[in-house]
Amino acid sequence: MRLRLSPGDASAIRSRIKIIPILQNLTGWCNLTCMAIHTAVHHSGIYFITFTCYRWLRLFEMANAYSEVYNFFGILNRQGHQVLGYVIMPNHVHMLLYFCTTGQPLNTVIGNGKRFIGYEIIRRLKAKGADAVLHLLKEGVSPVESKKGKLHQLWQDTFDVKVCRTEKFILQKLNYLHANPSRGRWKLCNEPYEYEHSSAAFYEIGKRDNIWLKDYRDFLALVQD
Whether the Cβ atoms of residue 13 and residue 3 lie closer than 8 Å to each other: no
Q: pLDDT of 183-215, one tens digit each?
A: 989 999 999 999 999 999 999 999 998 899 999
Closest by CA position to 91, among listed 68, 58, 123 = 58
Domains and CATH numbers, the chain: 12-223 (3.30.70.1290)
Cβ-based neighbour number of residue 94 at 10 Å: 23
**What is residue 221's predicted lDDT score, i.e. its pLDDT?**
87
Measured CA to CA, the distance from residue 57 to residue 60 in angstroms comes to 9
**What is residue 13's predicted lDDT score, i.e. its pLDDT?**
41
- Residue 16 clears pLDDT 70, i.e. is over it: no
More confident residue, 41 or 172: 172
**What is residue 120's predicted lDDT score, i.e. its pLDDT?**
97
Measured CA to CA, the distance from residue 213 to residue 198 in angstroms comes to 11
Closest by CA position to 178, among listed 68, 84, 99, 44 = 84
Cβ-based neighbour number of residue 176 at 10 Å: 15
Share of the chain above pLDDT 70, in %: 82
pLDDT band at residue 2 under the 50/70/90 scheme: very low
